[in-house]
């Protein structure tokens, strides 16, 4: 059997999702907290619609709003792009910033 992902960011599989429902997590927020879907880089933009549809098809409650949260520690885009390391290397070499 192949691995079917419902959340690529957090590697949540359809099996994980269905296991959460079987354990009694039947609303969107509880399933999110149990599985971790929607907590990755996209903050649910790529998976919440699919997960809500799957949950509704299985008799779950999707009326409660999905709570997305920003990362705990804000991250500068320069760090994500690797520019912070380049800037630090330039400073160490005595080069002026661009």
Do 31 and 76 fall within a single domain? no
Do 44 and 57 fall within a single domain? yes
Local structure of 61: helix, strand or coil: strand
Do 13 and 46 fall within a single domain? yes
Q: Which is it for strands 12-13 and 5-7: parallel, antiparallel or unpaired?
A: antiparallel
Contact 29, 66 (CB under 8 A): yes
The domain tally of the chain equals 2
pLDDT range class, residue 31, cuts 50, 70, 90: very high
pTM of the entire structure? Answer: 0.65
The vertex-40 CA angle with 38 and 44, nearest 5°, equals: 30
Q: Which domain holds residue 89?
A: 71-98
pLDDT at site 97: 56
pLDDT at 60 over 80: yes
Do 20 and 60 fall within a single domain? yes
């Amino acid at each position: 059997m192949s691995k079917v992902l419902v959340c690529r960011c957090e590697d949540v599989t359809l099996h994980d999702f269905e296991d959460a429902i079987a354990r009694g997590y039947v609303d969107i927020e509880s399933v999110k907290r149990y599985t971790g879907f929607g907590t990755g880089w996209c903050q649910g933009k790529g998976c919440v619609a699919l997960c809500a549809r799957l949950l509704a098809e299985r008799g779950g409650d999707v009326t409660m709003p999905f709570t997305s949260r920003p990362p705990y520690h804000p991250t500068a885009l320069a760090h994500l792009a690797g520019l912070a390391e380049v800037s630090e290397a330039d400073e160490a070499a005595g080069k002026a910033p661009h």
